[in-house]
């Protein structure tokens, strides 16, 4: 997971998150927010992730 995070590999982080790794979900949200990947944040928020929804709200307010 560290390599995926270091290289901002959203696909790999998404795969790990879908396998149930909570750290991967957190890293995916962080990476998406840092890179402005609104689609990924929106996807996570629509799936019920409140942290992603909060990040999305913060980024859209800016």
Model confidence at 62, in pLDDT bands (50, 70, 90)? low
Instruction: Count helices and strands (H / E) in the chain.
Output: 5, 0
The predicted structure's pLDDT at residue 43: 96
Give residue for tokens 């409140």: 50
Q: What is the pLDDT of residue 9?
A: 84
Query: What is the DSSP-derived secondary structure letter of residue 47?
Result: T
Containing domain of residue 40, as a range?
Answer: 2-61
pLDDT of residue 17: 92
Please name which of 19, 20, 24, 17 lies closest in space to residue 1, comparing C-alpha atoms: 24
Q: What is the pLDDT of residues 5-30, one digit of tens each?
A: 555 788 999 999 999 999 999 999 99
Q: Domain count for the chain, please give it.
A: 1
């Amino acid at each position: 997971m560290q390599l995926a995070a270091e290289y901002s590999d959203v696909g790999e982080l998404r795969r790990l998150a879908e396998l149930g790794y909570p750290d991967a979900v957190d890293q995916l949200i962080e990476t998406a927010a840092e890179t402005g990947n609104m689609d990924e944040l929106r996807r996570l928020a629509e799936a019920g992730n409140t942290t992603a929804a909060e990040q999305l709200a913060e980024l859209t307010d800016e």
